[in-house]
Amino acid sequence: METPARKWLSLAAEREALTRMEDAARTAEDFEAVIKQWDHLDENRERQERGHEK
């Protein structure tokens, strides 16, 4: 099981990676990859919200 500090560090690294990906996007394919990542994060957030509604 991950410790809270390790989990926070992992999430911070993922956020930083997405920020770098957004900043580096130059082509249509790059932007599609960024949008795909945003969609993935939205799906995860929505799934977690549905789980908390029960």
pLDDT at residue 53 in the model: 79
pLDDT at residue 25 in the model: 98
Contact 17, 1 (CB under 8 A): no
Non-local (6+) Cβ contacts of 33 within 8 A are: 21, 25
Mean pLDDT per 10-residue interval, the chain, length 54 residues = 89 96 98 97 93 78
What tokens does 47 get? 């799934």
1 DSSP 8-state letter: -
Q: At what angle do helices 4-24 and 28-53 cross, to 10 degrees?
A: 150
What tokens does 45 get? 């957030």
pLDDT at residue 2 in the model: 79
